[in-house]
Amino acid sequence: MHVSFKVKRLYHEQECSADDACTNGAEEFFSRMHRAEIGHHHHISGIYLDRYAKEAAFREDRRQQRNGEQFSRVVSLATVNPPSVDFCGYWQRSRRVA
Tell me what pLDDT residue 80 has: 92
Tell me what pLDDT residue 39 has: 80
Tell me what pLDDT residue 70 has: 85
**pLDDT class of 78 with cuts at 50, 70, 90:** confident
Distance between CA atoms of residues 10 and 31, nearest Å: 19
Ordered DSSP codes for 12-76: TTT-SEETTEESHHHHHHHHHHHHHIIIIIS---GGGHHHHHHHHHHHHHTTTS-HHHHHHHHHH
Lowest-pLDDT range, 30-34, 62-66, 81-85, 86-90?
A: 86-90
Tell me what pLDDT residue 76 has: 92
pLDDT digit string, tens, across residues 19-65: 767 777 777 878 888 888 788 777 777 787 888 888 888 888 888 88
Distance between CA atoms of residues 22 and 26, nearest Å: 8
